[in-house]
């Protein structure tokens, strides 16, 4: 039975990891803008892929992430025991495919064409009508009500009141460094408004706690059987932010393209299980160890479950105020 090797308390990342199960949640790679404004010098025709689509840089970012994952888990991975889930958007599906291309290059009998060192790996796509990964989940009346209440809350108005990376296109003259900094601040505020500002715990139960509940179900199953080794979620910056805000480990900055949140399950020599969490938001550095408030890293599984229980929905549909609209969390997630 594999065991977790030692992780020093002050280490960012152990150089030797031997987990029982891995969950990797990443944001898609670099994309084109969703939209523009009437006087913008660069309209949709200037983007060969169209609005909201993956760029070549984004594909390269995801390919690099796949190579990193392969190196990090090289003694652990097997394409047979991995499950890849993507939201139903071109950019997340393509991100999953680009990541898998470098994560599982064919070897030996897997090579079907010596000129093409690539093998197809199934990517399971969640229909948008059933999507509980692309936060914020809109099909939740109670959450929408909370958002309306947020806009009139003192906390929200206090935050709002004070107030590119570019693909070789000329920045408009009006877009000063000061204004771009303000826009970045507003982007960060948007994440907080979605998930943190005003009734945070209830928002977490309706958003970030949904994917965490699904992850914990797979983790609990892994303590009884060892068939599924790795779960991969190709999703969005809001997905990572929603999860991290729910866990009280969010750094306040919107997750960059191809950033990745890791959850690892270990079996200790005693036979007990523990959880480790890491965040990779900078390709020039090792992932950061994420310390859950009220617990030391790695966290005993039972303690982890206890600490996160307030943000795990008992009955998501009931808490949202709907019935019969979205069924089967185990299938959807």
Question: What would the two tokens of residue 57 be?
Answer: 């840089």
pLDDT at residue 300 is higher than 50: yes
Q: What is the pLDDT of residues 143-187, one digit of tens each?
A: 999 999 998 898 888 877 665 444 555 556 655 665 555 666 667
- Rounded to whole angstroms, how far apart are CA atoms 231 and 77? 11
Q: Are 91 and 28 in contact (CB under 8 A)?
A: yes
Per-residue pLDDT at 330 exceeds 70: no
CA atoms of 246 and 259, how far apart (whole Å)? 18
Report the mean per-residue pLDDT for the chain. Answer: 81
> How far is it, in rounded angstroms, from Cα 303 to Cα 309?
10
pLDDT of 33 strictly over 90: no
pLDDT digits (tens, 9 = 90+) for 74-122: 877 776 688 999 999 999 999 999 999 999 988 888 888 988 988 999 9
Closest CA to 194 of 140, 235, 119: 140
Sequence spans of domains, the chain: 21-137+202-332
- Distance between CA atoms of residues 163 and 308, nearest Å: 34
**Per-residue tokens: 111:** 């090579």
88 and 55 Cβ atoms separated by less than 8 Å: no
- The torsion angle over the Cα atoms of residues 173, 177, 179 and 184, rounded to 10 degrees, is 130
Quick one: tokens of 139? 């099909």
**Highest-confidence range of 198-202, 243-247, 264-268, by mean pLDDT?**
243-247
Distance CA 164, CA 169 (A): 10
Give CA–CA dist 29/245, Å, rounded.
21
C-alpha closest to that of 203 among 295, 310, 291, 324: 310
**pLDDT (mean) for 67-71:** 93
Top-level class of domain 21-137+202-332: alpha beta
pLDDT for res 170: 55
């Amino acid at each position: 039975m594999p065991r977790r090797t030692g992780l020093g308390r002050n280490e960012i990342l152990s150089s030797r990891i031997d987990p029982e199960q891995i969950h990797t949640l990443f944001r898609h790679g670099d994309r084109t803008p969703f939209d523009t404004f009437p006087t913008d010098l660069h309209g949709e025709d200037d983007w060969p892929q169209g609005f909201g689509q993956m760029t070549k840089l984004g594909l390269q970012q995801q390919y690099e992430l796949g190579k990193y994952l392969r190196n990090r888990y090289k003694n652990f991975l097997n394409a047979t025991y991995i499950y890849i889930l993507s939201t139903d958007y071109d950019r997340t599906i393509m991100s999953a495919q680009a990541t898998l291309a470098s994560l599982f290059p064919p070897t030996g009998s897997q090579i079907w064409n010596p000129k093409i060192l690539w093998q197809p790996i199934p990517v399971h796509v969640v229909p948008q009508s059933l999507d509980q990964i692309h936060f914020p989940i809109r099909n939740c009346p109670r959450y929408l009500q909370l958002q309306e209440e947020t806009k009139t809350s003192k906390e929200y108005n206090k935050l709002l009141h004070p107030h590119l990376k570019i693909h070789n296109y000329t920045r408009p003259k009006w877009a000063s460094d000061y204004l771009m900094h303000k826009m970045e601040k507003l982007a960060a505020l948007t994440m907080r408004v979605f998930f943190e500002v005003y009734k945070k715990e209830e928002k977490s139960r309706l958003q970030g706690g949904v994917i965490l509940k699904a992850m914990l179900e797979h983790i609990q199953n892994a303590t009884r059987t060892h068939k599924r080794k790795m779960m991969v979620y190709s999703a969005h910056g809001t997905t990572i932010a929603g999860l991290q805000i729910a866990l009280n480990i969010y750094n306040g900055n919107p997750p960059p393209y191809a950033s990745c949140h890791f959850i690892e399950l270990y079996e200790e020599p005693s036979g007990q299980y523990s959880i480790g969490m890491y965040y990779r938001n900078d390709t020039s550095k090792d992932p950061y160890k994420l310390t859950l408030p009220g617990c030391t890293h790695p966290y005993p599984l039972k303690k982890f479950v206890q600490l996160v229980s307030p943000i795990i929905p008992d009955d998501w549909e009931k808490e949202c105020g709907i019935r019969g609209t979205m069924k089967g969390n185990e299938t959807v997630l």
